[in-house]
A and B are shown apart, each in its own frame.
Chain A
Amino acid sequence: MSELRLMKGNEAIAEAAIRCGADGYFGYPITPQSEVMETLMALKPWETTGMVVLQAESEVAAINMLYGGAGCGKRVMTSSSSPGISLMQEGISYLAGAELPCLVVNVVRGGPGLGTIQPSQSDYFQSVKGGGHGDYKLIVLAPSSVQEMADFVELAFDLAFKYRNPAMILADGMIGQMMEKVELKPQKKRWTNEEIEKMHPWATTGKKNSRERNIITSVELDSEKHEQANIRIQKKYKELQEKEVRYEAIDTEDAEYLLVAYGSSARISLAAKELLRKKGHKVGLLRPITLFPFPTKQIRELAEGLKGILSVEMSAGQMVEDVRLAVEGKIKVEHFGRMGGVVPTPEEVADALEQKLIGGQ
């Protein structure tokens, strides 16, 4: 049965993980996302659904526990925040190389370095361009509400298994810490080992006499074969780009100017759009929900009728590069952002659009 609750974004991740039938969570505490594991430990899902929850000795160990669990065909996840996600990059690259599905939640804080525990969106490049070594991408979902924090857990698992690729929920400290009303879905059953053997014949479940041994690996010393493995992976990314783009378009029909923003910035930009509309400016908002695959085609099409785009991010300007690539130089694309954990106000965003796009003409 569905259930309505007031809860933090981080708590919603934990609740949703149990309810969608996740098999394992492996993590290491770091602010501002420690409530994910704290909630799981308090709920003790190993006594109900059988979900394994383990505090690892480091983020490095945690991500490699995901590799082991995912290799067994299990739905496994971790959560961390920026410095911890940096530590996980090696493991994420191996997971992508071995074509293993899993979920990594990044509740982003300001960097570089130890940075700040306040919210930021400065891990965009790391998340959507690969992050670790080699040619690979993650499936990246950007929630902008506590409800989406909950809903994207199952969606991320579904996409990860469909494409045999790691998925990431790219949130930020604001979404993680704020409380909102959430509708939690009813409890689903975890996959049985027999179901896993049928659904995921590639998984290491024990070599039956009736089949060849399964090997989960990212190494291939024959260059020709390794290039083929890369081509296979790239094909998935192309398919993802064609089939899995998700976004929300608000007031874009008559828009002359467009705000592009994801996550917390999209909430602020929504208020900024209202302010600008009241002033008589025809402004719309495009909120990418999938950051990879990015709504490139959709932005390009919208750009036909636009005078300018403002990319709003809590960073020095990262997504703005993808927006510029999408419009291919046809219209002006500007960036507005705050860094170091500073959250911009709707007024600041509205002013920036007026100054950079409307006033600047």
Chain B
Amino acid sequence: MAEVINDIKRSENLVYAKTKVLTDNVMHYCPGCSHGVVHKVLAEVIDEMGIQEVTLGVAPVGCAVLIYNYIDIDWQEAAHGRAPALATAMKRLRPDRYVFTYQGDGDLAAIGTAETIHACNRGENIVIIFINNGIYGMTGGQMAPTTLEGMKTATCPYGREPSHDGNPLKITELLAQLPGTAYVTRQSVHTAAAVRKTKKAIRKAFEKQKENKGTSVVEIVSTCNSGWKLTPVEANKWMEENMFPFYPLGDMKDE
């Protein structure tokens, strides 16, 4: 049997391999980080749509600041929260290019709220990939706008208390209300099935851009196991039990 198994490792039997749109660089993310999965899915969509040469990405400030080391396309690295402003100008000046931003919850829903809302409200023909893990990963696990009530972080060490710290922000629900958004969805990458759905959602978002439909927002509820102080497997379970009830998965808008 072992011989058979080794024997099947031939090119004609290949069913899954890393896309060439992902570089060979080892990602700097912690073991089990959702960013890596989303990067891969995004790269696969770019590969499968054949748009590597005509896609421009905008990197955020946050853990994904160095995303340009991993996905082999042209990139601009934005100031914290400003990615949608960059993307607005890039798409308007190069309407023949696919333009997307990749942003975390602090970038998109705190410091960059104005840029996010106004880009969506103008209906800029861009894709926004939004990683929501309810915490600031890069700076060491502080409270994010999307941190859940009661959730402990470095800046709400006794748990988020709305009367003191404010409420978690459902920014994606808010963006779905805006006339400029064409496709708004919330997905996750905690299981193989979820990864497949996220890939379909990102593909759909890029297809919407191709059809000049307006802004597409793909939120991916993600884990930050280091920030959450859990193992990657425990983090997925915690996310299912705590994040999904407040941030339910599914499409919010598809026009």
Chain B residues with Cβ below 8 Å from A94 are 78-79
Task: Decide if A67 touches B53 in the complex (CB within 8 Å).
Answer: no
With an 8 A cutoff between CB atoms, is B88 at the interface? yes
B78 to chain A, nearest CB (A): 7
* Selected contact of B97 from candidates A52, A54, A76, A206, CB within 8 Å: A206
How far is it, in angstroms, between the C-alpha of A220 and the C-alpha of B82 when the chains are bound? 19
A86 within 8 A of B: no
Contact B74 A213 (CB under 8 A): yes
Q: How many A-B residue pairs have CB under 8 A?
A: 125
A24 to B66, CA, bound (A): 28
Inter-chain contact A217/B86, CB cutoff 8 Å: no
Contact of B56 among A76, A204, A219 (CB under 8 A): A204
Contact of A71 among B54, B76, B79, B118 (CB under 8 A): B76
Is there a chain A Cβ closer than 8 Å to B107's Cβ?
A: no
Contact A69 B89 (CB under 8 A): yes
Give the contacting residue for A91; candidates B73, B79, B87, B93; CB below 8 A.
Answer: B79
Minimal beta-carbon separation of B56 from chain A (angstroms) = 5
- In the complex, whether B52 has a CB less than 8 A from a CB of chain A is yes
- Could you say which residues of chain A place their CB within 8 Å of the CB of B74? 204-207, 213-215
Interface membership of A56, Cβ < 8 A: yes
Closest residue of A by beta carbon distance from B56? A204
Q: Is A164 an interface residue (CB 8 A)?
A: no
| Binary contact track A62-87/B, C-beta < 8 Å → 1, others 0 | 10111111011010100000000000
Whether the pair A66, B89 counts as a contact (CB closer than 8 A) is yes
Asked if A34 CB lies within 8 Å of chain B CBs, one says no
The CA of A58 and the CA of B82, in the complex, are separated in Å by: 11
Q: How far does the alpha carbon of A62 sit from the alpha carbon of B92 in the complex, in Å?
A: 13
Q: Does any Cβ of A come within 8 Å of B127's Cβ?
A: no
Query: Is A228 an interface position by the 8 A CB rule?
Result: no
Identity of the chain A residue whose Cβ is nearest the Cβ of B55 in the assembled complex: A206
Q: Does A23 contact B (CB under 8 A)?
A: yes
Q: Which B residue's beta carbon lies closest to that of A76?
A: B89
The listed residue (A57, A66, A193, A216) touching B75 by CB distance below 8 A is A216
Bound Cα distance from A206 to B74, whole angstroms: 6
Q: CB of A187 within 8 A of chain B?
A: no
Residues of A within 8 A of B75 (CB): 204, 213-217
Cβ of A60 and Cβ of B114 under 8 Å apart?
Answer: yes
B196 in the interface (beta carbon within 8 A) = no
Closest chain-A Cβ to B79's Cβ sits at a distance in Å of: 5
CA distance A218 to B76 in the complex (A): 10
**Is residue B105 contacting chain A, with contact meaning CB distance below 8 A?**
no
Interface assignment of B240: CB less than 8 Å from any CB of chain A = no
Residues of chain A within 8 A (CB-CB) of B58 are 68
Assembly CA distance A207 to B98 (angstroms)? 12
Q: What 0/1 pattern do residues 204 to 233 of A give for CB contact below 8 A with B?
A: 111111000111111100000000000000
CB distance from B103 to the nearest CB of A (A): 13
Contact of A68 with B76 in the complex, beta carbons under 8 Å: yes
B92 — which chain A residues lie within 8 A by C-beta? 24, 52, 54
A61: interface (CB < 8 Å)? yes
Check A90 for interface membership: any CB of B closer than 8 A.
Answer: yes
Contact in complex: B85, A213 (CB < 8 Å): no
* CA distance in complex: A122, B89 (Å): 31
A122 to nearest B CB, angstroms? 26
Contact A24 B93 (CB under 8 A): yes
**Distance to closest chain A CB from B39 (angstroms):** 14
A68 touches B88 (CB 8 A): yes
Confirm or deny: B115 has a beta carbon within 8 angstroms of a beta carbon on chain A.
yes
Contact flags (1/0) for B38-64 with A, using CB distance below 8 Å?
000000000000001111101100000
Interface residue A26 (Cβ < 8 Å from any Cβ of B) = yes
Known: A64-B78, A215-B74, A215-B77. A56 touches B85 (CB 8 A): yes
- CB neighbours (8 Å) of B53 from chain A are 206-209
Q: Is the CB of A216 within 8 A of B76?
A: yes
Query: Which of B68, B85, B97 contacts A64, CB < 8 Å?
Result: B85
On whether the beta carbons of B77 and A65 are closer than 8 Å, the reply is no
Interface pair B93/A69, CB less than 8 Å apart: yes
The residue of chain B having its C-beta at the shortest distance from the C-beta of A204 within the complex is B74
Q: How many whole Å from B102's CB to the nearest CB in chain A? A: 14
Q: B94 within 8 Å of A by Cβ?
A: yes
In the complex the two chains form, is A217's CB within 8 Å of B76's CB?
Answer: yes
- Please determine whether B54 and A68 come into contact, CB atoms closer than 8 angstroms: no
Cα A209 to Cα B72 in complex, Å, equals 10
Contact in complex: A64, B86 (CB < 8 Å): yes
Q: Which residues of A contact B66 (CB under 8 A)?
A: 219
Q: Which residue of B lies closest to A205 (CB)?
A: B74
| B54 nearest CB across to chain A (Å) | 5
CA distance A58 to B114 in the complex (A): 9
B77 touching A74, Cβ below 8 Å: no
CB within 8 Å of A: which B187-226 residues: none
Contact A68 B89, beta carbon cutoff 8 Å: yes
B77 touches A217 (CB 8 A): yes
A64→B84 CA distance, assembly (Å): 9
Question: Which residues from B are CB-within-8-Å of A54?
Answer: 88-89, 92
Chain A residues with CB under 8 Å of chain B are 23-24, 26, 52, 54, 56-58, 60-62, 64-69, 71-72, 74, 76, 90-91, 94, 98, 193, 204-209, 213-219
Can you list the 6 inter-chain pairs with the closest CB atoms, starting with the nearest?
A68-B86, A217-B77, A64-B85, A68-B89, A64-B82, A204-B74
Interface residues of B (CB under 8 A from A): 52-56, 58-59, 65-66, 68, 72-79, 82, 85-90, 92-94, 96-97, 114-115, 118
Task: List 12 A-B residue pairs with CB atoms under 8 Å apart, sorted by A's residue number.
Answer: A60-B115, A68-B78, A71-B90, A72-B93, A91-B82, A94-B79, A98-B77, A207-B53, A207-B72, A213-B73, A215-B77, A217-B77
